[in-house]
Structure 1
Amino acid sequence: MDAFSLDMRTLNFIIILFSFIYALGFMLFQRTQLRVSGLTMFAVAILGIGLGPMLIGLRGVVPDWASIVVGNLIILMAFQLNLYSLCIIRQYNKNMAFAVATGLPLVITFLVYFTTQFPSTRARVMIISFYLSTICITTAYVVYKGQRNDFKLAVNMLSGSFAFFGLYMLFRTIYTFLSAEIDDYMETGMVHQLTFLFSIILVVSISFSMLWLLYARLVQSIHELSYFDPLTKLRNRRALEMHVRKRFAGRLMRLKPMSIIMLDVDRFKRINDDCGHIVGDRVLRKVSEVIRQQINADATAFRFGGDEVMIVIDGANLDSAIELAETIRKQVLLIPQNEIAGQTVTCSFGVAQLNQNELWDSLVSRADKALYQAKEQGRNRVSDGDLLSEQPIAIKA
């Protein structure tokens, strides 16, 4: 065993160093990049994981209450703060963090008792290890079950790091319970030495996982800016061009049924002129929200321009597209007027189905003409573009 002995003071110093570096890095990231709710708390928690061992390493230099009680308390609170911050970052119910925190006063009481009244390193190690195990396993669960749509590999690595450390702390609790009293903690056996090594691994792995997760979020935000309209949250014209290019890439794809819906807000210019562009923007957001709620996985909505929206429905015939358009039309009428400055909002719709060997421009033209026909007939209605069919145009090989 001596051949594999680890220098706990050196490991302790490495924990402190890594914790300070990563904590500083996250704080600078929070100040200079896209702000992430909960990240500052996560950075403070990483810092606490380093500050605690620093005080423990000063045992004999500072009083025991400062080295043992305060040092371990900082570690426990750091892990508790980690749990709370990750509930925010991963969008999970904070009640889990609050539930685990209820055990902290009892842990502190035992920690003080086994330091001042009945000194026992063995008892302190068991108490701290068991509580850390509870926090880490709970944190792993929270990270894994969080509602935020984050990069899966980063989430799994972050969750797995806490799960591994939590299970090791549980093993350490059992091992310490079955062992004799510990005389000198800094010169103790391999299991306790490995705790310092695994703490370093934990700090590095959760920090790397968090950086990976944040990087993936930045990439996702750039993607959304490139392919999504920021006002309506619908896809933009660039995304539409890519969708059409993919849809018409092969002959078999062109032969599959497809329908489109063209719609816009009735008298939208009047809304802008009478109520202002802020209300107009609010109307567009509300209509777009209705559209997103009503379409399924086979339909994709794009902001075509201004107040005009195109919905492309793969695998749908004309009747299905008309039915969807009617549903959206009726739901738009239900938008509460108090949310849009007392305005009653209606939409007009033009629907068309792709004919065999028809070009995309021809399909759009028919849907667009149907939309204007709906407006000419009184607005707030759905018009069938196939009644306005142009002669199909053959696609050249």
Structure 2
Amino acid sequence: MLSKDIRKHFPILAHEINGHPLVYLDSAATSQKPQQVIDAISNYYEHDNSNVHRGVHTLGNRATEGYEGARDKVRNFINAKSREEIIFTRGTTTALNIVAQSYGRANVNEGDEIVITHMEHHSNIIPWQQLAKERGAVLKYVDLEEDGTLSLEEVRKVVTERTKIVSIMHVSNVLGTMNPIKEITEIAHANGAVMVVDGAQAAPHMKVDVQHLDCDFYAFSGHKMGGPTGIGVLYGKKDLLNKMEPIEFGGEMIDFVGLQESTWKELPWKFEGGTPIIAGAIGLGAAIDFLEEIGLDKIERHEHDLAAYAIKRMSEVEGLTIYGPLDPEKRAGLVTFNLNDVHPHDLATVLDMNGIAVRAGHHCAQPLMKWLDVSATARASFYIYNTEEDVDRLVDGLRMAKEYFNDVN
């Protein structure tokens, strides 16, 4: 387990909620921010606030250095070949939409196939639905095994020579399933398809090496990894990005503008129209510094151990159902569950009364809810600041909620 001293870096964790010390178990939705990130953002606004790439004055140069320095940190963080392959976006959703609208529109035609899975977040479903409708393509789904994992044999059945795009999440935000992206990429490439990865639930929690995975695109968000909201990353292989057209047009992304025609800047700026997310990028850079100081391998091991402890303790609660693989080595640090006939929203409300924050609902994964044959679930998701004591508080809260609803009924 990581040292509990890490909690001292997160000022919000010192707060009380409804008279109880905060137990924050909703990091899969958004993580809390370390003081280091908060300070980096404040420092930009207090000392360096200026637009980037435009002015030659001191503030403009400092802002540009901070913004572009963050790009270099991202490149190192995911081991991209070059900084030109790192596009700053508003988040994972925007990054996936860029791939669908730019690469997809240019390369997917009538009768072609797009392959995803039943476990995908809506952000990795709807862009492909829209692209399939627009281009007359076929959207296909890889079914799941009973434990919520993916079978490579099933992937091989679904991906064919007609497949142009395979887009799969690295880690499920509901099941916690860790998908074999490298092997799936090999299957996609063997059939002439490109591989797109939704890394929103992976990049904050484990070491990601896009060259090792050999994926063509990888998307993730800053706010799930200790960074600010409104900043994300699209990684793309340089040769693919060079061939793609931007989908937003205006300032910053242009080279030359004439009365009838315009030309675009080189990578990565042709995809970053308008004033970019300067403070967000700087905050993301600070978050990367913080995570790398701890070590991604240590973070992954901490969360595996915490998930294993949570599954063990939560399984002691009678009437509680856990979804996804029970083997902690096959899942990331989250546990999705239901308790008897208690609606997840009611359960989450009772837990919140005791200072315990969990997520309740369909988790932006309605097709997966249908596959699980439930309308909604509750989810406890862990990060570097969570401890076994947090899990114990959750289990105590679940038992309290069970007693409360038994008395009500």
TM-score tier (shorter): under 0.3
TM-score (normalizing by structure 1): 0.25
Using CA pairs below 8 Å that are at least 6 residues apart, which structure has the higher relative contact order? Answer: 2
- Decide which structure has greater strand share: 2
- Decide which structure has greater helix share: 1
TM-score (normalizing by structure 2): 0.24
